């Protein structure tokens, strides 16, 4: 069990550092995928809301520290997204990659809208609709396109660690 948690922590750190350290390599037309959100949705679907919320906490803290935002914005949005999708995961049949991509797209939209509402509440002169359509929607599409690749990598890694730690994912 401890191997699974150790690998989980390292994976969160690796994907968070990749997202913030190599954005030029990942950037297409000024848009980068949100690896933290993809990990939150992955752990919500396969390990439940608790693991997803902790993933959101760790990935959100790193994103808040690495970006120039107030500490807690990304944390709150990712934890709420992880909780909602963790609760929904028991009711969804999510084996097909298109369903997983659609869930990541919906999660990215939810995360982006929550984040932009928080920013708007702090600065009401921000054009929230413009920011959602210019930043959130393209990032949601790009994250959804990256989902099958990231999910494949995470499933491969955690299938290996679950075998050695005798941990059975699921609700």
Query: Which of the pair, 165 or 110, is modelled with greater confidence?
Result: 110
Give the mean model confidence (pLDDT) for residues 76-105: 90
Long-range Cβ contacts of 86-89 (<8 Å, 24+ apart): 86/43, 86/44, 86/48, 86/49, 86/50, 86/51, 86/52, 86/53, 87/49, 88/44, 89/44, 89/45, 89/46, 89/48, 89/49, 89/171
Angle at the Cα of 81 from the Cα atoms of 89 and 5, rounded to 5 degrees: 70
Confidence at residue 165, expressed as pLDDT on a 0 to 100 scale: 58
Using the predicted structure, report yes or no on whether residue 168 has a pLDDT greater than 70.
Answer: no
Confidence at residue 81, expressed as pLDDT on a 0 to 100 scale: 96
Task: Supply the mean pLDDT for the chain.
Answer: 88
Element (DSSP H or E) covering residue 44: helix 35-47
| CA gap 12, 67 in Å, rounded | 16
Q: 42 near 59, Cβ under 8 Å?
A: no
Task: For residue range 37-84, list pLDDT tens digits in order.
Answer: 999 999 999 888 999 999 999 999 999 998 888 889 999 999 999 999
Confidence at residue 171, expressed as pLDDT on a 0 to 100 scale: 46
Confidence at residue 95, expressed as pLDDT on a 0 to 100 scale: 81
> Which residues, in sequence order, are bridge partners of residue 114?
none
Q: What is the pTM of this model?
A: 0.88
Percentage of residues in the chain having pLDDT higher than 90: 57
């Amino acid at each position: 069990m401890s191997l699974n948690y150790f690998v989980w922590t390292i994976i969160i750190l690796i994907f968070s550092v990749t997202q913030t350290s190599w954005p030029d390599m990942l950037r297409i037309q000024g848009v980068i995928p949100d690896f933290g959100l993809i990990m939150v949705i992955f752990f919500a679907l396969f390990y439940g809301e608790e693991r997803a919320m902790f993933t959101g906490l760790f990935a959100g803290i790193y994103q808040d520290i690495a970006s120039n935002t107030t500490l807690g914005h990304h944390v709150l949005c990712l934890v709420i997204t992880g909780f909602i999708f963790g609760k929904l995961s028991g009711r969804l049949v999510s084996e097909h990659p298109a369903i997983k991509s659609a869930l990541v797209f919906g999660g990215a939209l939810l995360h982006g809208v929550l984040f932009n509402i928080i920013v708007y509440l702090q600065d009401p002169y921000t054009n929230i609709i413009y920011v959602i359509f210019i930043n959130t929607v393209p990032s949601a599409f790009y994250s959804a396109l990256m989902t099958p690749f990231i999910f494949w990598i995470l499933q491969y890694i955690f299938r290996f660690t679950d075998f050695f730690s005798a941990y059975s994912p699921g609700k």
